[in-house]
Structures are given as C-alpha cells and as structure tokens.
Amino acid sequence: MGKPTGFLDFTRTDNRAAEPLERIKNFNEFHEPLSWEERKEQAGRCMDCGVPFCQNGKMLCGMISGCPLNNLVPEWNDLLWQDQREQALGRLLMTNNFPEFTSRVCPALCEKACTCGLYGDPVSVKENENAIIEYGFENGLITPEIPHMHSGKRIAVIGSGPAGLAAADTLNKRGHSVTVYERSDRPGGLLMYGIPNMKLEKHIIERRTELMKAEGVRFVLGCDVGRDITAEELLSENEAVVLACGSSQPRDIKAEGRDAEGIYFAVDFLKATTKSLLDSGLSDGNYISAKDKNVVIIGGGDTGNDCVGTSVRHGCSSVIQLEMMPEPPEERAESNPWPEYPRVKKTDYGQEEAIAVFGEDPRRYCTTVKEFIKDGEGKLSAVKTVKLEFVRDHESGRSVPQEIQGSEEILPCELCLIAAGFIGCQSYVAEAFGVELTGRNAVASAEGDFASSVPKVFTAGDMHIGQSLVVRAIREGRDCAAAVDRYLMGYTNF
C-alpha cells in the first residue's frame, strides 16, 4: 500500500497550526492544510505492513486499539498516493458516515496502532482522512443520496449527537422514514455544543445536517422528549425508537462550599460560549465569562483542555487545570506496549495556549479541590486544594488516592469549572420509556445487542455504553441501525 519505501523516503509532516498567541484572537479552526503534493507523500508513508492494526478497532487492556469504524485506512491511503482522490473518497465513505467530524475531533486511535509508529512516526491518517472528505465537498462529490425505495416504516431517533445522526443517516439510506428529535435549538448534540468551535466549526455540522434533510431525514428541534412529547406518542406513531441521548449527567464535586456562586459544570460553560458565539458573535453576553477571572478547572481530560482554551480566549487572568491522576510518562512504559493505546503525556492546544500566555503549563497533577471558599456575598473567591498520593488497598488490590497531610494550598478563583466526566444518561428519558438501566446509568441491553428491555425501543452511543469517543458513537449508531433494520425487515444489508 502506498509507496513501498515511503515510510523511509518521507518524514511525517503535519498540518501547520497557527501560533498560539495568534489563534487565541478568535474561535476559528487554526490548522492550514498541506498542498496536495505534500499530502500524497504523507499517504505514501502508509507501508504494506501485511496486518493493518490501524483498522483493527478492538479492545486491548481496557482501551481501544485501532479504528472502531474499521476504516479501510491502507486502501484509501494507497489511492491517495496514486492521486485517485474520488476512489479514495468512495472507500472512506464505505465505513464512516461523517469523516468530516472524526477527522477533526478523533484522538486518532488508528495512528496510535500504526505499524510505522512502532519505531518511528505513524502515518498521518487523521489529516489524510480530512483531506479526502473536504476534497469531496469542495468538488461537488458529496450530494444528496435519496433512497429509491421506501419501506413505509417510521423510526424516531431521540438525540442528534454522533450516534443519533449515524443511526438516522444509515436507516434513511435503507429507505425508512426517520425523524430526529433534539431538545436544543440546533442539531448536533455533543458535536454542536459540547466541542468548541476551534476544534469543529459549526458550519461543518450544518453542512451535514442540511444534506441529511435533503436526503429525507426530518429534524424536530427544541423538543424535549419525555417532557414536550410523551414516549407513548412516539411509540404509537413509529415502528421503532432509538434512544441516543448521550451520557449527559455530569459528575459533581462534593466539597465544602459547593453552593458558592461561580461554580459551573464544564458542559454548561462550553455550551453557553458556543451558543452565544453562533447567535451573536458573543455580543449578547449570554455566556459564562472567564474574562479577568482566575479560573480553576477540575479535570484533566479533553473537556478540561477545551475549558482551558475557551477561558484563554475569553481573556482570563489565570488558569489552572487540576488532575487527580499522576503525571503520565513522556514515552510508553514497558507495561504499555504497542499496539495498545499509549498512556503518555499529551500537551493539547489549550495547554499550549495557556503556556504561551502565562508562561507555564496549567496542569497540576495528583491534586483535587478540598474546599470552595466564598466571600461575604456567597461568591467564589478561592479554592483550597490538596495533593494526593496513590496507595494500594489490600482488600481490592487497587490503588486508591489519599490526601497528603499538610499539602493544602489556597488558589484565588472566581470561576471554577467541573470537568470530571459523566455518570450516565439523564434519567428522565429512560424513565419515560420504562427501559432498564445498568449500574453505570446506561440503557441496558444484551451483550452485543442494541434492543432495550422495552419492545420497539433501541439504544446507541454514550447512552448505551457510557461516556466515550465520537468515532465510537458513530459505530454504535451504525450498528444500532442494522439491529433496527433487522427487527423491522427480518434481515439487513448493513
């Protein structure tokens, strides 16, 4: 695949990013694509490795190794190297409904499992994918695919995040009539309001949903299922219902002073900024502002990093990101061999920007908030942090965090953002349909299946498997669509 000696002849070259101090002036995407000749060379680095771990997508030691969508990476890299761009697009779309999303926000599980990455730099799969799909849109190759045959079956999809959109898109292509219900004012769910504009500009989502509308998918916005419309109505009007409402119940921090004014969940902070940005370019002021505030973010994952980047763009006075876990190593440990997902330190865009503005990495490891400190008016003025150490619990055999006595520190803080992950779906939709939930507050189903405990009701995405990745949610949506199609038709072509 590609050029047989390409991984020796060409070095990895990534899309060029705008300098941090320049890109924080706006909320736009900030990477400049390579030229096509440069892109061809990057595709040519894809070696004829025999066993393409990049498209494996299996669990190894509790983490996914390779692409959950089983993208045909070597095939479209080879076609890209040969400058067969239209054919490369065709192979890409065989496995991925929305390459324009995954090529922007996916952590590139494919690259982490790339054979080239065993002793050198992996192939730049994610950027190759983006080049292919954007070439398709720019050259009129992505057009509405209106089904020629219609089954007469009606399906309601609850939630328009990546899983819901993938299920709707796939079922519509099979000829079923699909209506997507979304409680927000814009479709996209997590993609629209959970991921900042810098990572995924929202016209990209609108471009895709407009295409889906042209293909026959119906969107009902501002409709909160379980409150604005009943489960009974949807079940009576449709032959099947897909619950794809995400894992949107945020994990809280239980500490003294939690009722202080100025503490928000990260998802509310990010959503408010994006909505105000789209509605008015932030001129309406309807968002949680970090301007001139000392910001403390509790959580070290992608959402925490997004809060760092957003706070810097607001013009915060300082930003600190707290992480309970120890600092990861710079390189793979011997206990974390390829092709496992690498548990290594990653400095993301928001952290790069904080370093450029404030001169230091905002992250503090093995640290958590012990107390929220209020001023005389009940507003947050500071947080008390404490250092943690991990010790082995003899009963469970697991490492558990313990406070280090005397390690407390007071940090000035007028805005605290909780980015500590999610603990399952918001229960009111599940309760409305009467579906059983697992101990992780996800909709229960048989292993490998998508049918809930209630006839006609299926589930997909984070609502089914818990908080995960966009690429995995798309796979969930596709597989759920196949299960629904089989239920309705007795067989499926997916």
340-394 tens-digit pLDDT = 999 999 999 999 999 999 999 999 999 999 999 999 999 999 999 999 999 988 8
The pLDDT assigned to 42 comes to: 97
**Does one domain contain both 87 and 117?**
yes
Tell me if 157 sits within 8 A of 244, measured CB to CB. Answer: yes
When comparing pLDDT for 379 and 494, which is higher?
A: 379
The pLDDT assigned to 255 comes to: 95
Q: Where are the alpha helices (DSSP H) in 10-108?
A: 20-23, 36-44, 73-81, 85-93, 99-105
How sure is the predictor about 47, in pLDDT bands with cuts at 50, 70 and 90? confident
**Does one domain contain both 87 and 122?**
yes
**What's the CA gap between 258 and 479, in Å, rounded?**
41
Structure tokens at 286: 């309807």
Q: How many other β-carbons are positioned within 10 Å of the β-carbon of residue 456?
A: 18
**Does one domain contain both 287 and 433?**
no
Residue that terminates a domain, selected from 402, 418, 434: 418
Helix, strand, coil share of the chain (percent; to 5): 35, 20, 45
pLDDT of 283 higher than 90? yes
Structure tokens at 491: 């067989």
Residue type at 260 in one-letter notation: A
Q: Which of 146, 164, 163 is nearest to 155 (CA)?
A: 164
Half-sphere exposure of 483 (CA within 13 A, CB side): 24
Residue that terminates a domain, selected from 138, 166, 186: 138
**Does one domain contain both 13 and 107?**
yes
**Does one domain contain both 22 and 133?**
yes
Average pLDDT, the chain: 96
Would residue 116 count as lying in a domain?
yes
Q: What percent of the chain has pLDDT over 70?
A: 100
**What's the CA gap between 274 and 398, in Å, rounded?**
40
Tell me if 436 sits within 8 A of 128, measured CB to CB. Answer: no
Would residue 358 count as lying in a domain?
yes
* Tokens 């089904």 -> residue: 147
**Does one domain contain both 180 and 293?**
no
Tell me if 205 sits within 8 A of 104, measured CB to CB. Answer: no
What spatial distance separates the first Cα and last Cα of the chain, rounded to whole Å? 27
How sure is the predictor about 1, in pLDDT bands with cuts at 50, 70 and 90? low
Mean pLDDT of 316-337: 95
Q: What is the DSSP letter of 414?
A: S
**Does one domain contain both 404 and 304?**
yes
Would residue 145 count as lying in a domain?
no
Would residue 22 count as lying in a domain?
yes
Mean pLDDT of 153-172: 98
The answer for residues whose C-beta is within 8 angstroms of residue 346's C-beta and 6 or more apart is: 328
Which CATH number fits the domain that encloses residue 77?
1.10.1060.10
**Does one domain contain both 96 and 173?**
no
Would residue 412 count as lying in a domain?
yes
**Does one domain contain both 131 and 215?**
no
**Does one domain contain both 401 and 433?**
no
pLDDT in tens, 57-96: 999 988 899 999 999 999 999 999 999 999 999 999 999 9
Domain residues for the domain of 174 are 154-248+423-489
Residue that terminates a domain, selected from 391, 418, 445: 418
The pLDDT assigned to 149 comes to: 92
Q: How many other β-carbons are positioned within 10 Å of the β-carbon of residue 51?
A: 8
Q: Looking at the 3D structure of the chain, how many domains does it have?
A: 3
pLDDT of 208 higher than 90? yes
**Does one domain contain both 120 and 207?**
no
Please, what is the Cα angle at 125 between 124 and 127, to 5 degrees?
A: 75
Tell me if 192 sits within 8 A of 274, measured CB to CB. Answer: yes
The pLDDT assigned to 493 comes to: 87
The pLDDT assigned to 94 comes to: 97
Task: Please list, residue by residue across 107-116, b when 16 or more beta carbons sit within 10 angstroms of its beta carbon and e when fewer do.
Answer: bbbbbbbbbb
Based on its alpha-carbon atoms, the radius of gyration of the chain, rounded to whole angstroms, reads: 23
Would residue 484 count as lying in a domain?
yes
Least confident interval from 354-358, 413-417, 421-425: 421-425
**Does one domain contain both 66 and 93?**
yes
Would residue 255 count as lying in a domain?
no
Which CATH number fits the domain that encloses residue 484?
3.50.50.60
The pLDDT assigned to 393 comes to: 82
**What's the CA gap between 301 and 463, in Å, rounded?**
20
Mean pLDDT of 215-225: 98
pLDDT of 2 higher than 80? no
Q: Where are the beta strands (DSSP E) in 38-189?
A: 58-60, 63-65, 154-158, 177-182
Would residue 349 count as lying in a domain?
yes
**What's the CA gap between 172 and 146, in Å, rounded?**
9
Element (H, E) at 298: strand 294-298
pLDDT in tens, 451-489: 999 999 999 999 999 999 999 999 999 999 999 999 999
**What's the CA gap between 379 and 290, in Å, rounded?**
14
